[in-house]
Amino acid sequence: MKINRSYVSSNNTYNVNNPQYIVIHNTDNFRAGADALAHAKAQFNRNLSTSVHYYTDDNDTVYQTTAHDHGCWHVGVNYGGRLFGPVNNKNSIGVEMCVQAGYDFNKAFANTVAFVCQLMEETGIPDERVLQHYDVCAKNCPSQIRGKGMWEEFKRQIQSGGSGDNEAKSSYSNIMGNTIAAAEQMQEYIKQKNLQATRSVLEMIPLYLSEGAEEGVRGDIAFAQSCLETGDFGFTQSAVTLEQNNFAGMGVVQNGMKGLSFDTPQLGIRCQIQHLKAYACTDALVNKNIDPRFQYVTRGSAPYVEWLGIQENPQGKGWAAGAGYGSKILSILKNIIEESGSAVPASGADQRINPLSGYVNVFYKGKDGLNMRTAPCMGNNVSQVVYDGIYTVVGISADGKWYKLKSGHFITTGKDYVQFMESLPAMSSYMIKVTIPDLNIRKGPGTNYAKTGRFTGTGVFTIVEESGGQGATKWGLLKPYQKNRDGWISLDYVTRI
């Protein structure tokens, strides 16, 4: 992160400071222009009653207002709360994350993580001495991180150098990415939950996967959301009806409203997928926008299912106002996967899967990728595709014709562009240098894999594995993600050391 020290000031500071702690704050000011530069200028030009050393936001420049050898009045007095040892204004460095109207919370969060990692390295302050303001005096600060699981995520990331936890994935569920549940599982779920479900409902379920794949949105999450909004397509206590082809309460912004209507189920599902994408990321739509409320969404404000509920969203944004909205969707999805059984193969296919431990190297050159199927058989059960790369194998069909991947999907064993390996090929790790701050980390080797929501930041990193994949000449696996193989970057933007 770049540091602008143009506004270094000694106004309203102690002339002695022995930094032993880093304390995180946020401004809690949502007015437009409440950014790091504005706060830095204000700190320099006025004798403020409070101050911190650094201001961060969603831009790639950090503004420093005070040198480390001066103490800032940022910790305050003990409010009768949780005084954390000897932390005070003369032995700590204050970092304030600025929030404002129209800002990108995820980028601001990632920038603050990256900068704190940089500051820890510079000062030698360990991660256990990086605190939130609340830890010191029980003040509700940083309010945009506290109580929403984000502080725990902040600590996980700084403990791993800003590049993610090398032991555990984030606990959040990304809206963007590859689906997990198959169409057959969704159909079985509805059959179990709604004995009166019409044939038209069952037949339209695959549209969630195809429309979701078009935009990179998890279709199974969209389907689970529809189950919540429609009462498992029974439409009891629902604001919409089956004939509206509106399966997510689109346009119902207050009690008594009927909501939007669509000519076909496909258009209704497409609109829902587009609305989810609006919340989940800032990427452009692939299909023509048919969502009349797309413009009202703060783009990228809810990349996780858990944040679709306004009460749980750090920015106070979201799809619905009811408490636990996202967790209810995830609970339904869990039931779909666990209670409806595994994907159903075509009639007559052998369902037996023998265990097999290893990897498969796919070097398929077709532009559309190699088909993955929801069951070990041919038929209309293609859910996704895979591109060049190495994938974990956990089983093989009894007839030897299908590999079962760790994801639960199946690919053929009979093509000359699929090679089974009992172990990963040996490769010596090597160091690379990244000079851009916003290099995305993805869950797999290719742009067809979901973003983790994290960036490498600038610095030196270790690559432990290489793979081909969509969108880059070659992809590299970062060392902190080696165990689960879920942290990949494009090697087109790095320099090997």
pLDDT one-digit tens code per residue, 261-288? 999 999 999 999 999 999 998 889 999 9
Residue 346 has pLDDT above 60, yes or no: no
Q: Name the residue with higher pLDDT: 365 or 411.
A: 411
154-161 long-range Cβ contacts below 8 angstroms, 24+ apart? 154/24, 154/109, 154/112, 154/113, 155/127, 155/130, 157/113, 157/117, 157/454, 158/113, 158/116, 158/117, 158/120, 158/127, 158/130, 159/127, 160/480, 161/117, 161/480
What pLDDT is stored for residue 351 in this prediction? 57
Q: What are phi and psi of 35, to 5 degrees?
A: -105, 180
Buried (b) or exposed (e) across 180-204, using 16+ Cβ within 10 A? bbbbbbbbbbbeebbeebeeebbeb
What backbone torsions phi and psi does residue 209 show, to the nearest 5 degrees?
-75, -45
**What's the pLDDT at 39?**
83
In this prediction, residue 71 carries a pLDDT of 87
**pLDDT tops 60 at residue 493:** yes
Summarised one tens digit per residue, pLDDT across range 452-470 is 888 888 888 888 888 877 7
How far is residue 63's CA from residue 5's CA, in Å, rounded to a whole number? 6
Query: Using one digit for the tens of pLDDT, what is the confidence trace for 281-336?
Result: 888 999 999 999 999 998 888 888 988 998 888 778 889 988 889 999 999 998 88
Instruction: Among 1.10.150, 2.20.25, 2.30.30, 1.20.140, name the CATH number for the domain at 430-496.
Output: 2.30.30
Asked if the bond preceding 142 is cis, omega within 30° of 0, the reply is yes
The mean pLDDT of the chain is 82
CATH class for the region spanning 2-159: alpha beta
Amino acid at 442: R
Is the pLDDT score of 84 beyond 80? Answer: no
pLDDT confidence bin for 168, thresholds 50/70/90 = very low
- pLDDT tens string 417-460: 788 888 766 667 788 988 888 899 998 888 888 888 888 888 88
- Rounded Cα distance between 264 and 246, Å, is 9
Identical fold for domains 2-159 and 353-421, yes or no, is no
N-to-C CA span, the chain:
21
CATH class, 183-339 region: mainly alpha
Enter the CATH code of domain 353-421. Answer: 2.30.30
Q: Does the pLDDT value for residue 169 go beyond 60?
A: no
Whether the per-residue pLDDT at 82 is higher than 60: the answer is: no
Token pair 């209704």: residue:
268
- pLDDT band per the 50, 70, 90 thresholds, residue 45: low
Alpha-carbon span 326 to 315, nearest angstrom? 15
The reported pLDDT for the residue numbered 14 is 81
The domain ranges of the chain are 2-159, 183-339, 353-421, 430-496
**Edge-to-edge order in the sheet of strand 130-132:** 2-4, 61-64, 54-56, 92-97, 21-26, 130-132
